[in-house]
Homo-oligomer: A and B are copies of this chain.
C-alpha cells in the first residue's frame, strides 16, 4: 500500500464548509464552485447533506446539487445522510456514496443526530439494507463516517478502545468504507499513529480515509503521519472553509490547497491543478464576501522550481 503514489483528495467544502457558516450560498454559486473544482481536476466531492431544510437551510438544495454534480464524468459524488430518510433521498438523487455520521462520543452523537452511537449504527445498518433492497442502487457505497475519533469538545479525550469497538461494529453492519473524522481538531501526530496502528489491521481492505481539521494547526503534520501509515484518501475544504460551531475560535477543515501542496511536495499525485484550485477561491470570495478564507499557499504561491528536483530520477547527489 505504501508504494501507491496517488492520493485521493475529496473536496468537502460544499457540505462541511457551507453547513458550518451562517449564511446561505445560492445554488448557482455552488454549481460554479463545483464546476471550478471539477475543472481543477478534483474527482471526489462531498457535495451536500440530505437533512431537513429546517435544520440546515444552507443545504436545502441537496437534490438539485446532486443532480448537477453527477453529470460530470468520472466524478464520485458523495452526500451525507444522518438517517434512513436522508439516505433514501440520497439514493433516489443518484449519489455514488452515502456517508452516515457516526460519533464515537455519545454526547456529540446525541447533539448531532439525537441518537446514541449504537442507535446510529442501527440506523446505518438500515441504510445499508435499504441500499441492498433495490438492485438499481447496488453501485452506491455506504460509508461509515466516524466523527470525534480523536477527541470531542463535550467529552474531551475519546478512549481508543471506543473507536476500535465502533470500527468493529460498522464493519459488522456492512460498511463499504470507513472515514475517520477529527471533527474538532483534537488529533495529534502521536494519536494518529497510535490509532492507525490499531485500526488498520482490523479494517482489512476498508482502509479509512482521514477527515482532518486544522483547529490547532496540526492538520498537515497529522497528514504526514497518516501518509506514512499508508492512508491515501483525505477530506479537505477549499480555503479551510467552515469551522466547528462547538469549538469556539476554531478554524475549519484543513485547506484543500495546502493539503494538495503538501502532497505534491512529497511526490504524491492527486490529479489536481493547484493553480486552478487557487483560482476557485475567487468563487468563495465573490459569493461569500467577508467570510474568512484560510490557507497558507495562496499567499506566497506555489514553488514549482523547488519541488521538481526533489522528485527527479537523479535522486540524492553523492
A161 touches B317 (CB 8 A): yes
Q: Are B266 and A189 in contact (CB under 8 A)?
A: yes
Stretch at the interface among A85-93, A129-137, A242-250: A242-250
Nearest opposing residue in chain B for A188, CB measure: B265
Q: Which residues of B contact A72 (CB under 8 A)?
A: none
> Which of B150, B217, B305 makes the CB contact (< 8 A) with A157?
B305
Interface residues of A in 289-318 (CB under 8 A from B): 295-297, 299-301, 303, 305-311, 316-317
B residues near A309, Cβ cutoff 8 Å? 157, 159
A151 at the B interface (CB under 8 A): yes
Residues of chain B contacted by A185 (CB below 8 angstroms): 300
Q: CA separation between A39 and B225, bound complex, in Å? A: 33
Q: In the complex, what distance in Å separates the CA atom of A160 from the CA atom of B309? A: 10
Q: State whether the Cβ of A224 lies closer than 8 Å to any Cβ in chain B.
A: yes
Interface residues of A in 239-298 (CB under 8 A from B): 247-251, 255, 258, 261-262, 265-267, 295-297
Which of B188, B221, B249 makes the CB contact (< 8 A) with A223?
B221
Contacts of A23 in B (CB 8 A): none
The complex places the Cα of A185 from the Cα of B306 at a distance, in Å, of 11
The docked-state distance in angstroms from the alpha carbon of A247 to that of B299 is 10
Q: Are B299 and A189 in contact (CB under 8 A)?
A: no
Determine if B194 and A316 form an interchain contact, defined as CB atoms under 8 angstroms apart: yes
What are 17 of the A-B contact pairs (CB < 8 Å)? A156-B305, A156-B306, A157-B309, A164-B317, A189-B224, A189-B265, A189-B266, A191-B265, A194-B310, A217-B258, A217-B296, A218-B220, A218-B261, A218-B296, A220-B220, A224-B225, A248-B300
Residue numbers of A with Cβ under 8 A of B are 150-151, 156-161, 164, 185-186, 188-191, 194, 197-198, 214-218, 220-221, 223-225, 247-251, 255, 258, 261-262, 265-267, 295-297, 299-301, 303, 305-311, 316-317
Given contacts A190-B310, A191-B306, A221-B221, list 16 more A-B pairs with CB under 8 A.
A156-B306, A157-B305, A157-B306, A159-B317, A188-B265, A188-B307, A190-B267, A198-B316, A216-B297, A216-B303, A217-B261, A217-B262, A217-B295, A218-B265, A218-B296, A249-B300
